[in-house]
Structures are given as structure tokens and as C-alpha cells.
Structure 1
């Protein structure tokens, strides 16, 4: 659902950019609370994993494909504020390096793919957790439902922005029906990927799933060679002390394999927005991307003749760049959290 330059006029694009900047600013502040010693090392990895999986377009109808948006997955794994930042980092990397998603439309894409997906998915997720039994299965089911609804939610946001600033004269009802219809189907794929990933992390490290930290299942500690339930007071501290390195390495390897190898077998059909735009004429005023001459434009490495190698190298570069930029941002936010806590502790002691 990467909106290119030219779909939405300049005034609405600017307004969306300002709204997106405000949402990112709020998320930066909120992420200070979410990026503790467990989440901080993983947030950059989550961004890189989303980048990798977004390269894996899957067929949803004749001549149409879809791909992960990632807002639901990021929000559930590392928190909603951090989730907005994760997807925003991915969109920035895609727009600047790979000419995917217009640069003047970056604010539109952040609102559609980062803000709306996170807000819708996490609201549904938390609502279901309050209604259903407190189990790991409930977390997975709630993740599925939140992800499923987040994608048509993003389609509704695009339709609203198109109604305000669309550059072509296409009846709004046709745009709404086509966008929501195809993105309901894409939402099913989003839900399956999100639930499977959340379930996999829950199976090995439930303490690393932000949305599952209230689970009643006790943490196990190894004492004298035997596993015993950790004391209630000791469980949070013990969970925080467990290394995230194995999960981080496994996740990074998975992202590199998906982007560097599996992506070659992704569907070549246009995604939901591209298909609707072509069918309804929304793309009549599309503009060439400002980074169209980038060495990585189109997810291929310039001057590398072999398509498999070119796409694989581009995917690996994208994963590496995203994890590096994301980790740098999230560790900076984490450092600010530590400084805030130190300042608060010093002030309390002084009183």
C-alpha cells in the first residue's frame, strides 16, 4: 500500500506529513516507557523483519497480490508507540533507498501504514484480551483479529485522504469499495503472518512479547538442575536478566533469508493499491520517484545482471540498513529513558 507521488495533491500531502510528524513525536515520547531492557534490543530487529516480510508479496486474487503492513506485529511485539516508529523507519528506508513509496507522500504512507494499522490493531488486541481468558492462545487469537482489521483500516484512511486531495476524478464510492474489498483479503494474509510470528515468540520467550506481559503463566527458573516456578516478585527481574541474543540472532538470520532468498519467489502481481489504481484510473497523475535513479531502486542492485542475485543483495542490504538505523534510533530513545529515570531518582533522593 505504498502511495507514490502524484496520487494525493500537495496541500493534503503536507497536512498528512504534519500529522505523521506529530504522531512520530508522540510515539518517541511513548517509546521511552516501552523500550526497557527487553524491548530495546529487539525493536530494530522488528523493523528489519517487517522490511524483509514486506518483500514477500502473496497472491490474494487474480492478478493481485498483498504484503505485510506490519503495524499489528510491531505493536504487539514491542508496544504501540515503538510499533509506529518501527514501521516509520521501514517506510523511510523503502522510500529513500528503494524508491518504494513517494517522498512527498511519506506522511501519507506513515499515516496509512504505521499510525492507523497500529491504532486499530492494538485497540482490537487489547479489547479482546480483556474479554477472553488470560492465556497464550488468547494472545495469538487477539493478534490475528487485530492484524486482520488493521489492513482494511489503512484502506479506509487512504480513501479518506483521496477524498480530500485525490488528483484524479474517480467516484469515491468506487475507490472505497475496491480498496476495502481487496484489503480485507490482504488482511487475512497479514493476520496469518502476525499470529504465526507472535505465536512463535510466545513459545520460546513470552516475556519478550509486549502484549503478553500480563500472562499468568509463571516464569521457570533452573535451580539445582530442575525447573521451578520463580517467586512472583523475582519473576520480572529474572525475565529482564535473560539474554535476548539468541532471539535476536535467530530473528536476524530469518530476516536475511526471507529478504535475500525467499523474496525471489514472491508474487510479481501488483499489490492491492497498485491494482485498484490501475483499474480505476487513480494513477493517471503519478509522478516519477525522486529516487528512481537510486542504485537500489526497485529492490535490485544496479549493474548486477542476474535477477536473483540482484534482488537478493538488495534485500540483504535493506535488512542490514534497517536494523542498523532502527537500532540506533531505539537505543537513543532507550538512553533518554535511562536519563529520565536517573533524573527522577536523583530528584526523589534530594527531597
Structure 2
């Protein structure tokens, strides 16, 4: 859904740019808390979020190269807002997707530079806000457990994509450069992006499920969902306050586990962008298809970075298509993980410089998932017990 230059007129593009800058500024402030806390409000697990956030940005970049077919002559790809928000938090999630969009626009001529504000508003802000609101609402009413988190992630991601399509339609209604019936644009955009949303939901649920299976303490959206152990006494369920807390994992073992997950995630991103992307669908994505069918692609302008050595996800002067695309994908993953990690580490250092305390949460699942003021639950306490 990368909006190119020329679809939206200059005044609305400028206004969207200002709105996007404001959203990024708010997200930078909010991410300080998600990445380690400020002014005593440390979030559990924040010290582990910064390196993971850089990896999430690289993973989103890689998966966005994997267009999948959704209808005759149309493809779709991950937007990533829901995935980022659930894994690292909504504010950090906006920054993750924004970093990806910036790298794509500057290096790969994907998404217009004058339309960068529109793309951040639609693909980063709307998807993240909508997805996380739905996700948090669902996890509060569903039974506590990994399956509920995965189901909530699926639903949130599914809704976030047509919501982004609706947001683009509204922006086009105000600043579109071609006179096209708005009703037809809205129907086509939302209709095709509902189908794309199914693919987004599947990718998001599988990724969240995989991470939560091995390191649930690293999933921002799963924190605070562990229920204390219950015992039935006199026919009533009461908190088992006498249950001894689980022993924290040794720091060295936790660090190794974290590094291993990061290495596996980065390797997966490289494989997806460098090799699997060659087999991605070559059909136009939802926005491109609708723009062509409805005729508002006539306003598209040539990208300012069209002469970039990596334009169109290929390396200039390399004639072998497979090698060119694969190498461009690997470069993109590397640049994105470095840029993303630098941003998130800078946010954490700024927090430290302001005197905010670093998060002191234990790396263990129980420590990260137990609300403040409650005793840490044992592994057996992840679901309420029915009988003593």
C-alpha cells in the first residue's frame, strides 16, 4: 500500500507530513517508557525491547518483500503495524514501521518521498493504533493463555489492514489529484484489503505465536497476563500467596537465550529477503491494482530516488535477476536493522540521560508477566487452578 508521489496533492501531503512528524514525536516519547521506562515508570522487560525492536523492523522489511496473491491479478504484502505493536509496544511499533518506510523510500524508491507522511500515517500510525486497541480489548475478555494472545493478534491484524485502506480513501477524498468517484475507490480499496488482511493476520499470528512459545517475556502484548495460582478453600477460590516465587534464570543463560532468538530472527529475515523473495508474486499490490482499474494512477510522478543503486529492489549493474534481488534484500535487512537499532538505543540512552531508572525486571517469564505488587507465579500458575 505504498503511496507514490503524485496521488495526493502538495497541501494535503504537507499536512500529512506534519501529522506524521507529530505522531513520530509522540511515539519517541512513548517508546522511552516501552524501552525501559521514565521517571520511575519502568515497564517490565523494557531493557530487552530495544534490540528486539531493531530486529522487528528488519523482519517487517523482509516480509514486505513477499507479495502473496489474493485475487486474480492482485497481490498483497504485510503492513506490519499489528505485528510490531504486539511484539514491542504501540509507540515503538509506530517507529519500527516508520523506519522501514523511510528506508524503502530513500533506498529502494518504494513509496513516494513527498508521500512519506501519508504512508507513515496510513501504514504505521493507523495500523498500529487500530490493531493494538483491538488486541488489548480482546485479551481482557478472552481466557488468559497463549492461544488467546495468538487469536487476538490474528483478529487485530485482520482489521488493521482494511482500516488503513479506509484511511487512505479519506486522505484521497481530500487531496486526490484525479477526479474519481469516491464510492468506487472506497469499495475497491476496502474490499481487496480485507483479503490482504487475512494474509496479514496469518503472518502476524504465526510470528507472535512462535515468539511467545519460546520467549513470552519478550512479547509486549502478553505482559501482565499471567494469573496468580488459585486454591479452593471452603468452596471458594483464593490467591495462593504462600506459593514460593519461581527462581530467576541466571543472567548469563538469559542473555544467551536472548542473543539466540535475535540471531535466529535476523537469519530468518535474511533468508526471506535474500532467497524467498524471488518467489513472491509479481502482480501489483492492492493499491496499485485499484489505482490502475479506477484510473487515479494517472497522477503518479517519477520517484525522486528512481536512480538509486537499489531502486525497485535490485542492485544496479547486476544482470542476474535472482542475484540482484536477493542481494538488495539482504542489504535492506542489514540497513534496516542497523538504523532501527540505532534509533531505539538512542531513545534508551536519552531516557538514561534524563535520569529515568532503567528497568530492573527479571528476564524470566514470571517476572515479566506478573503485575507490580503481586508475587511472581510459578510455571504451574499460568492458568487458575480449579482444585487444590
Look up the match of 1:294: 308
The answer to whether the 8 A contact 1:91-1:110 is kept is yes
Unaligned runs of 5+ in 2: 36-45, 229-242, 359-388
Deviation per residue, 1:123-156 (Å, 9 max, x gap): 0000001111111111000000000000000000
> Whole-Å Cα distance in 2 between the matches of residues 70 and 239 of structure 1?
30
Answering whether residue 325 of structure 2 is matched by residue 325 of structure 1, we say no
Look up the match of 1:207: 217
> Whole-Å Cα distance in 2 between the matches of residues 230 and 41 of structure 1?
32
> Whole-Å Cα distance in 1 between the matches of residues 19 and 258 of structure 2?
34
Q: CA deviation at 1:341?
A: 3.9
Written as runs of structure 1 = structure 2, the 5 A alignment for 1:88-237 is 88-216=98-226, 231=245
> Whole-Å Cα distance in 2 between the matches of residues 294 and 322 of structure 1?
16
Q: 1:13 to 1:196 in 2, by over 3 A?
A: same
Q: CA deviation at 1:336?
A: 1.5
Unaligned runs of 5+ in 1: 219-228, 345-351
User: Where is the helix percentage greater, Structure 1 or Structure 2?
Assistant: 1
Q: CA deviation at 1:86?
A: 0.1
- Tell which structure's C-alpha radius of gyration is larger: 2
Aligned residues: 335
Look up the match of 2:296: 282
Aligned residue among 85, 89, 107 for 1:79: 89
Q: CA deviation at 1:339?
A: 2.5
TM normalised by structure 2 equals 0.83
The answer to whether the 8 A contact 1:57-1:268 is kept is yes
Q: 1:6 to 1:342 in 2, by over 3 A?
A: closer
The answer to whether the 8 A contact 1:41-1:244 is kept is no
The answer to whether the 8 A contact 1:37-1:240 is kept is no
Look up the match of 1:221: none
Look up the match of 1:224: none
Deviation per residue, 1:274-329 (Å, 9 max, x gap): 00000000111110000000000000000001000000000000000000000000
TM normalised by structure 1 equals 0.92
Look up the match of 1:42: 52
Q: 1:343 to 1:69 in 2, by over 3 A?
A: closer
SS in 2 for 1:59: strand
Answering whether residue 275 of structure 2 is matched by residue 269 of structure 1, we say no
> Whole-Å Cα distance in 1 between the matches of residues 281 and 155 of structure 2?
25
